[in-house]
Amino acid sequence: MIRAALIAAVLLSLFVLIPAISPSMNFRLLLTGEASHFIIIAIFFVFLHFLFEPLRWYLYIGRKSSESPQHNGNFAAVFAVLSTTALLSYTMPFKLGLPTRIYLVKEYLGLSVKRIVYVLAVDGSMNLTIWGLFGAGCAVYLLPSSYLSNHLHLIAVGVSLLLLVAYLGRRPLYKIVKPLLERESRIPTKKIFLSATILVADVIGFGLRHLAIFIVLGFQINHFDAFLIGVLSVFAGIASTLPMGLGAYDATLIFLLTRFGVPLELATLSPIVNRTLNLLSSMLFGGASSLYLMRTTTEHQSDSLTSSRSKTAQ
């Protein structure tokens, strides 16, 4: 059942994602232009991004995640589960990739639902905090003071609403979080620090990836400004909570590029290139990872059948 579901989900994801790669993309420009070698740098940082999240989870759960022998907490298993769910999350609406991740982590890594929720809460909170700090800093630096002052009332209203929601929900949230903070569930501070360092490296990687893409496309932008534009655009996509930041990331990136003098028709190419690299990498890692998980399931079923026959023979 699990094997069939994985095959169906991955095939559906590939069916949805392949047409999303723009047929109008001028790959010859990316591969043969004067700065074409920078596309290799962009691909390198894309690959790093797909490596960083499994690495954080590996830090959280340790090498062995379950007492059950069929569950494996080695890095290959962690990478396979997270890469598969990353591929599925690109095509599943309304964040349905999240319950899929919870199921696969429980099934293949042997973590309890309680432990999974705790890791998700820790990693998600750290993710939003670090990206929020970088995003706010980029916005203050890139956007003119007049733009910020004109929208100050909206910013104030938004912050006030967040504080009000946090205040009203503090007691129900504490009741939910309290059981997760038991001593045996806590992640060591050292691992939290290492994970935060990996997240910072991921943010920097996003900025450098966009800088490389801008250079390939021939944008005449100061490199530091280009780095910040990439980070702020990705943060806008994360803040939108939409799958892949659809719409928010693209609009923010195009808006900022045009403000820095890039023609609109060229600015629209940059999110297409970035999404193409993301989708191709996700298909590569997600497809290979799903095969790994299916093989693991087959081997476990075969071992269980052999063991059952041995006990019957005895």
Task: Compare 238 and 22 and report the one with higher pLDDT.
Answer: 238
Q: Running DSSP on this structure, what letter comes out for residue 246?
A: T
| Boundaries of every domain in the chain | 2-17+34-306
| Under 8 Å between Cβ of 204 and 24 | no
Which band of pLDDT confidence, cut at 50, 70 and 90, is reported for residue 120?
A: confident
45 pLDDT more than 60: yes
302 Cβ contact partners less than 8 Å away, ≥ 6 residues apart:
none
- CA atoms within a 13 Å half-sphere pointing along the CA-CB vector of 138: 25
Which band of pLDDT confidence, cut at 50, 70 and 90, is reported for residue 309?
A: very low
- Mean pLDDT across 299-312: 49
| Burial annotation 139-173 (CB, 10 A radius, 16+ → b, else e) | beebeeeeeeeeeeeeeeeeeeeeeeeeeeeeeee
Distance CA 290, CA 81 (A): 8
Cα dihedral: 83, 85, 89, 93 (round 10): 170
Q: Running DSSP on this structure, what letter comes out for residue 188?
A: P
CA 10 from centroid of its chain's CA atoms: 17
> Can you spell out the DSSP letters for 55-117?
HHHHHHH-S---SSTT---SHHHHHHHHHHHHHHHTT-STTTHHHHHHHHHHHHH---HHHHH
31 pLDDT more than 80: no
pTM for this structure? Answer: 0.76
CA 123 from centroid of its chain's CA atoms: 11
Distance CA 243, CA 24 (A): 23
247 Cβ contact partners less than 8 Å away, ≥ 6 residues apart:
240
Q: Tell me: the pLDDT tens digits for 148-175?
A: 555 566 666 666 776 676 666 666 655 6
129 Cβ contact partners less than 8 Å away, ≥ 6 residues apart:
none
Phi-psi label, residue 62: left if phi above 0, alpha if psi -120 to 50, beta otherwise: left
- Mean pLDDT across 233-254: 83
